[in-house]
Amino acid sequence: MKKASCAFILFLLLAMTSSNNANAFPEYQAWSQKHSKRTVNCAMCHAHGDGPEGSKPGQMDTLDADAQKRLEVARGAEKPGVHADNPILNEFGNYIVFKLGLEQVYKMRDDPSQLKQALGEESDHDGDGISDGEEFEDGTHPLNNQSGAPWKLFIQNLQKKWVMVAIILFIAITSLFGFKHLLRYSSKVD
């Protein structure tokens, strides 16, 4: 129940400022999981991997007065451009709210595939070279540079370290070439 209800449930909570009806908001998580065929938990966007509800750090029951104030500010982030430091969202979750505004997040529930384009290519919070939107599609963590589609990480690492790769290849090839000549020389001496 927790896993099913945690994904983006905050967005609904924020919309219902006078309501305690914490309906689930599972569309984004479900879409990412289905599209990527990877397990996607609440930690993609939330401060705690179990989602916003509960009494663990980063969950609703543990918010102090300062965190409650920040939550109130976040509840008003209907339009894009509001730096809402929501205590029960992580950096990526807060960025989504900043970039899109809550109104757009609600509308996009019907088609979460739009999120990648809405976020654009420029945001890459973990700096692994794979945009946040792509990581959402791939079901990998946008705040962990060790989490990414393997072939994309491979390409990114290759691009970053191509000089080292070239040197290693050069050494390997010249070593092999030298070894062959050594064998040939040895056979002539024998």
CB of 74 to Ca ion, least distance (A): 23
Q: Which stretch binds Ca ion (CB under 5 A): 38-46, 57-65, 96-104, 128-136?
A: 128-136
- Give the tokens for residue 132: 């946040």
Give the C-alpha separation, 166 to 8, whole Å: 44
Give the C-alpha separation, 180 to 99, whole Å: 59
138 binds Ca ion (CB under 5 A): no
CB of 124 to Ca ion, least distance (A): 4
130 binds Ca ion (CB under 5 A): yes
CB of 126 to Ca ion, least distance (A): 4
Q: What residues from 107 to 126 belong to the interface with Ca ion (CB under 5 A)? A: 124, 126
Q: What are phi and psi of 16, to 5 degrees?
A: -100, 70
Q: What are phi and psi of 46, to 5 degrees?
A: -100, 160
Q: Exactly one of 128, 138, 141, 147 binds Ca ion (CB under 5 A); which one?
A: 128
CB of 112 to Ca ion, least distance (A): 18
Cα-trace Rg, the chain: 24
Secondary structure (3-state) at 46: strand
Residues 6+ apart with CB under 8 A from 28: 7, 8, 45, 109, 112, 115, 136
Report whether 118 contacts 89 (CB < 8 A): no
91 binds Ca ion (CB under 5 A): no
Binding to Ca ion by CB under 5 A, coded x per residue (else -) over 49-88, reads ----------------------------------------
Give the footprint of Ca ion on this chain (CB under 5 A): 124, 126, 128, 130
